[in-house]
Copies of this chain bind each other. A is one copy, B any other.
Amino acid sequence: MRIVIDAMGGDHAPEEIVKGAIQARNEFDIDITLVGDRERILKVLTAEKADESKFQIIHTTEIISNNESPTLAIRRKKDSSMVVGMRLLKEGKGDAFISAGSTGAILAGGLFIVGRIKGIDRPALAPVLPGKNGPFMLMDAGANAECKTQNILQFGIMGNIYSKKVLSKANPKVGLVNIGSEEEKGTEFTKECFKMLKESRLNFVGNVEGREIPDGNIDVVVCDGFTGNVILKVFEGVAQTIFDILKEEIMSSARTKIGGLLLKPVFRKFKKKFDYTEHGGAILLGVDGTVIKAHGSSNAKAIKNAIKQAVLCVRGGVVESIKEEIEGYNEING
């Protein structure tokens, strides 16, 4: 299995990206292709005393930043690490592609370079989030600000497969984000989605309210990309804010500093539990290949986890299963 990695994407590229790739190669039985500035990549490999002959390096001269139009960048920057990496995936020269770069560019590249799976109208960005009782998927988290009910059903179908194959859930629970638990709650859109999900073969457990989402009891939480993106960011923002305030307060006196020291194992355990990178990045489900968007602030460990996620996806045959399932649905529904 060969994993293609955009060495130039993310806040700490290429250093942390390459370090994560080295760690993953030591841990998993995989081949790795690093795409980016050869000299800078080699510098990190040397500094880390890694055997550079074990890594395929594809040299590129351009980088897509967060501050440019994703669609234009994907079209024009033919020699960017992102475009070249995605082309390798498309051409079968790799089994998965990972980038911590611009989310917009990954979405655009997913559509225009990798391409959609036949029958999937809108691929979804699906992060795996830490819940109190276990990880859960939120989709779509921002690929499609506006959705049709058919898209939501497909999100459920794809999330169900990922949840089974990668998160090892036997019969994933699918829930629809809504502002009340009853079927008749919400907007015209959520009401239609409810009906469609209820009639599907999914293990649809009904509406899920914002308050229940962090419990992690619903394995696949589906909604339009606007709602999902807001949820994802509020989730991160509230957690960050709470920790910032606690940290500030703990450092404010000798007594609380000692208390903070004694609670170090608690905070460490907690951090691990609430670590967004523990289960890898956000997977772009619905494109014809395994594409993972790692967090922009990814360190080596986060990249390693994203690579692990890619390995599990490829081994589990997630993309192939989605293809089969969608074909089956389309046959049934004409």
Contacts and interface: CB of A to CB of B under 8 A. Distances in A.
Contacts of A232: 210
A234 B250 contact: no
A263 B270 contact: no
Given A179-B226, A244-B132, A249-B270, A234 B259 contact: no
Interface in A230-260: 230-242, 244-246, 249-250, 252-253, 255-256, 258-260
Which of A225, A233, A240, A273 is the most central at the interface, judged by chain B CB atoms within 10 Å of its CB?
A233
A238 B262 CA distance: 24
Contact of A211 (B236, B252, B261): B236
A232 B234 CA distance: 9
A269 interface: yes
Interface string A188-224: 1010000000000000000001111111000000000
A334 interface: no
- Most interface-central of A239, A255, A263 (chain B CB within 10 A): A263
Interface in A77-130: none
A187 interface: yes
Given A214-B241, A239-B238, A226 B132 contact: no
Number of copies: 2
A8 B236 CA distance: 37
18 contacts: A132-B244, A179-B233, A190-B226, A210-B230, A211-B234, A211-B236, A214-B237, A214-B240, A227-B227, A230-B231, A234-B234, A239-B242, A245-B273, A249-B270, A256-B266, A258-B262, A259-B260, A259-B263
Interface of A: 131-132, 142, 145-146, 177, 179, 186-188, 190, 209-215, 225-227, 229-242, 244-246, 249-250, 252-253, 255-256, 258-263, 265-266, 269-270, 273-274
The 7 closest A-B pairs by CB, nearest first: A210-B233, A259-B262, A259-B263, A210-B234, A211-B237, A179-B229, A214-B241
Given A209-B233, A210-B237, A242-B270, 8 more contacts: A179-B230, A211-B236, A211-B240, A213-B233, A230-B230, A230-B231, A250-B266, A255-B265
